[in-house]
Amino acid sequence: MFEIFIFLITLAAILIIINRKWFKLPDTIGVMILAMMLSTISWVISRTHSELFQLFCTKISNIDFKAFVFDFLLGVLLFAGSIHVDTKAILKNKTTIFQFATIGVLLSSIIIGFLVYYISSWFGLSISLPYALVFGALISPTDPVAVLALLNKAGIRKELEIKIIGESLFNDGIGIILFLAILPFTKMGVSEINFHVLSIELLKEIFGGIILGFLIAALSIKVFRTIKKEGILMTHISLAITLAGYSIAMRIGFSGAITMVVSGLILGHYLHSQTNSSENPKQISIFWKTLDEILNSVLFVLLGIEVISVQFNINVLLLSLIVIPLIILSRFISLSLGNLFSPTDIKSNRLDLALLSWAGLRGAISLGLVFTLPDSETRDLLLMLTYIIVTFSIIVQGLSLGKVYKYLNSIN
Residue 37 lies in a domain: no
Task: Answer whether 168's CB lies under 8 Å from 144's CB.
Answer: yes
What residues contact residue 25 under an 8 Å CB cut-off, 6+ apart?
A: 19, 33, 399
Q: Which amino acid is at 91?
A: L
Residue 43 lies in a domain: no
Task: Answer whether 164's CB lies under 8 Å from 156's CB.
Answer: yes
Buried b (16+ CB within 10 A) or exposed e, 47-79: eeeeeebeebbebbeebebeebbbebbbbbbbb
Q: Return the pLDDT at 267.
A: 94
For residue range 86-96, list pLDDT tens digits in order: 888 888 888 88
Give the residue from 40, 87, 32 showing the smallest Cα distance to 262: 87
Residue 86 lies in a domain: yes
Q: Return the pLDDT at 209.
A: 94
| Domain extent at residue 84 | 65-410
Q: Return the pLDDT at 310.
A: 81
Query: What is the distance between the alpha carbons of residues 363 and 319, in angstroms, rounded to a whole number?
Result: 19
What residues contact residue 146 under an 8 Å CB cut-off, 6+ apart?
A: 28, 361, 362, 363, 364, 393, 394, 398
Q: Return the pLDDT at 326.
A: 95
Residue 17 lies in a domain: no
Q: Return the pLDDT at 195.
A: 65
Q: Return the pLDDT at 266.
A: 94
Query: What is the distance between the alpha carbons of residues 213 and 35, in angstroms, rounded to a whole number?
Result: 35
| Segments in the chain below pLDDT 50 | none
For residue range 120-179, list pLDDT tens digits in order: 999 999 899 989 999 999 999 988 777 777 776 677 888 888 888 888 889 888 888 889
Residue 51 lies in a domain: no
Residue 225 lies in a domain: yes
Q: Return the pLDDT at 59.
A: 67
Count of domains for the chain: 1
Give the residue from 85, 84, 62, 81 showing the smallest Cα distance to 73: 81
Residue 206 lies in a domain: yes
Task: Answer whether 85's CB lies under 8 Å from 92's CB.
Answer: no
Residue 152 lies in a domain: yes
Give the residue from 237, 212, 211, 215 showing the smallest Cα distance to 224: 237
The CATH number of the domain holding residue 286 is 1.20.1530.20
